[in-house]
A and B are shown apart, each in its own frame.
Chain A
Amino acid sequence: RKEVEQDPGPFNVPEGATVAFNCTYSNSASQSFFWYRQDCRKEPKLLMSVYSSGNEDGRFTAQLNRASQYISLLIRDSKLSDSATYLCAVTEAGSYQLTFGKGTKLSVIP
């Protein structure tokens, strides 16, 4: 069974804090990795694709560790608007099937 595991949280952090989420995957054939953000009662929105060399977009940094089969998301200087559920997702090369983790809930507190 191909599984993607995330700590469901909730992570309650003060504004300005740095917070990190990890996501582990069991399928060693996984090739593409993503972080989505989902607000309550809304659709998942792509936050970042995760590349082998790691990538950064403003306050967000994503990293991939193929040897240990996990991806991470680091959020620096947390804002109230970062409060959401963060879903990691993985897929094999050439596959349409995107496997999601159950999501990690983040609440940024004033």
Chain B
Amino acid sequence: DTEVTQTPKHLVMGMTNKKSLKCEQHMGHRAMYWYKQKAKKPPELMFVYSYEKLSINESVPSRFSPECPNSSLLNLHLHALQPEDSALYLCASSLDTDTQYFGPGTRLTVL
């Protein structure tokens, strides 16, 4: 089973709101990722957690704050977002530095 789950599926928020995206996997994968994808573009890497530690931050603005409570869970906390942050946010996981499996994504709209 190569399942990564994400909640919520859709999220609409105002620029002053605080919200969180959640991701979960039970495959024993030790690396988890957040990607952002705009329409007709490939996914862009935002963060990588490896063994529950932040391994890569691709110069993401601080209004996006990742958190890895344990090896199965990954959160992305959102605060004071801008309309241009509207996108599909994808979580992925991999056993280590190998094949990445993606969750269904959260479609975020910032008003």
Residues of chain B within 8 A of A36, CB atoms compared: 102
The chain A residue sitting closest to B4, CB to CB, is A43
Main SS of chain B's interface residues? strand
Total contacting residues, chain B, CB less than 8 A: 24
Q: A96-B31, A96-B33 are in contact. Are A102 and B41 (CB under 8 A)?
A: yes
Complex: A51 Cα to B50 Cα, angstroms: 25
Contact indicator B31/A42 (Cβ below 8 Å): no
Residues of chain B within 8 A of A32, CB atoms compared: 98-99
Contact indicator B33/A41 (Cβ below 8 Å): no
Please tell me the size bucket of the interface on A.
20 to 34
Complex: A75 Cα to B105 Cα, angstroms: 27
Residues of chain B within 8 A of A34, CB atoms compared: 99
- Residue pairs across A and B with Cβ atoms less than 8 A apart, 29 shown, are A34-B99, A36-B102, A41-B88, A42-B104, A43-B88, A43-B90, A43-B105, A44-B43, A44-B90, A45-B102, A46-B2, A46-B99, A87-B42, A91-B97, A93-B97, A94-B97, A96-B31, A96-B33, A96-B48, A96-B50, A96-B55, A96-B56, A96-B97, A97-B48, A98-B45, A98-B100, A100-B42, A100-B43, A101-B42
Binding site for A on B (CB under 8 A): 2, 31, 33, 41-43, 45, 48, 50, 55-56, 88, 90, 94, 97-105, 107
Binding site for B on A (CB under 8 A): 32, 34, 36, 41-46, 49, 87, 91, 93-98, 100-103
New A-B contacts (9) at CB < 8 Å, excluding given A32-B99, A46-B101: A41-B88, A41-B107, A42-B104, A42-B105, A45-B102, A97-B48, A100-B43, A102-B41, A102-B42
